Structure formats: structure tokens, C-alpha cells
């Protein structure tokens, strides 16, 4: 997935990390979704397992380690102009570490939020995580 061809679909990974009933979110900066709150995540690298990708992305972005990684939902994301992702949404539990901003060009700060008091606005895919948790729906094919 290292091509610069914008017509290529990319595989995204997002991880909803739980700690004591709260979830980890940041306000995004960068190419799409700037100003929206999202979970840690990124791209599945060529030859990488989904579990290894989740662990790597969370560690690279926040410095924390995770455990008990589980599939939550699949999302066909085409909202952001010039971008098309098939996004794999996962859940995980915090294992160790204190969240830090390790990619300041992509995130403002990492904070733990109660599911009933999430900040707004939420990144497009974040709403689907919440819907999947509530309803069990695991496939979203949005434009």
C-alpha cells in the first residue's frame, strides 16, 4: 500500500482502546478529518497481520501497549475527497503506558473519555464504532 496513486483503495486500521470503561481519543490534525475526534489508527502495511498492525499503530501514536484485540466492524469510507479506505475497526484493552502525542503533526492530545460524554465533532468512522457496540452491526458501506 505504498503507492502514491490516489485511485487506489487503502486498508485502514482503527483501534478503540478501553481503560476502566473509558476510551482513548485525540483531536485529529492533517489530511482528512482535521478537528474531529478519533481513535488511534493508521494503515495496514504490506505483509503485516491485523493484530500486529493494531499494536504497532497504537504504540507509534500513543506510546501505550494494548491487549485483547478483537474485531468490531468493517467500514467502506469514501467521505473525504480523494480518499477511499476499507477501514477495519477493532477494540482493545489498555495494557500499559501513559498516552503521549508521538506524532504531533497528526494529533493534538490523547485523553480518556466516558462513552456517554464523548467530545465533538467525531471523526466519520468513530460513529460507526459506537453503533457497532450498541447494535452488533459489523458492516458499514457508506459514501
Let me know if residue 79 belongs to a domain: yes
Residue 32's pLDDT is 72
Let me know if residue 73 belongs to a domain: yes
Question: pTM for the complete prediction?
Answer: 0.91
Number of domains in the chain: 1
DSSP per-residue string spanning the chain: -----TTS-EEEEEEEEEETTEEEEEEE-SSSSTT-EE-SEEEPPTT--HHHHHHHHHHHHHS-EEEEEEEEEEEEE--STT--EEEEEEEEEEEE-----S-TTTEEEEEEEETTS--SSBPHHHHHHHHHHHH---EEE--
Let me know if residue 107 belongs to a domain: yes
Residue 4's pLDDT is 47
CATH of the domain at 70: 3.90.79.10
Let me know if residue 142 belongs to a domain: no
Let me know if residue 41 belongs to a domain: yes
Segments forming the whole domain that contains residue 100: 10-135
Q: What is the pLDDT of residues 45-90, one digit of tens each?
A: 999 999 999 999 999 999 999 999 999 999 998 876 788 889 999 9
Let me know if residue 64 belongs to a domain: yes
Let me know if residue 140 belongs to a domain: no
Residue 15, pLDDT above cutoff 70? yes
Let me know if residue 141 belongs to a domain: no
Q: What is the pLDDT of residues 79-123, one digit of tens each?
A: 767 888 899 999 999 999 999 999 999 999 999 999 999 999 998
Residue 6's pLDDT is 63
Amino acid at each position: 500500500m505504498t503507492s502514491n496513486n490516489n485511485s487506489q483503495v487503502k486498508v485502514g486500521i482503527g483501534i478503540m482502546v478501553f481503560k476502566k470503561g473509558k476510551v482513548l481519543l485525540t483531536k485529529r490534525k492533517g489530511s482528512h478529518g482535521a478537528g474531529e475526534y478519533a481513535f488511534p489508527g493508521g494503515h495496514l502495511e504490506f505483509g503485516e497481520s491485523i493484530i500486529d498492525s493494531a499494536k504497532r499503530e497504537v504504540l507509534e501514536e500513543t506510546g501505550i501497549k494494548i491487549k485483547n484485540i478483537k474485531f468490531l466492524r468493517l467500514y467502506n469510507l469514501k467521505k473525504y475527497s480523494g480518499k477511499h479506505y476499507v477501514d477495519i475497526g477493532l477494540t482493545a484493552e489498555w495494557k500499559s503506558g501513559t498516552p503521549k502525542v508521538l506524532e504531533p503533526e497528526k494529533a493534538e492530545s490523547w485523553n480518556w473519555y466516558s462513552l456517554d460524554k464523548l467530545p465533538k465533532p467525531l471523526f466519520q468512522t468513530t460513529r460507526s464504532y459506537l453503533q457497532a457496540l450498541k447494535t452488533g452491526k459489523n458492516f458499514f458501506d457508506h459514501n
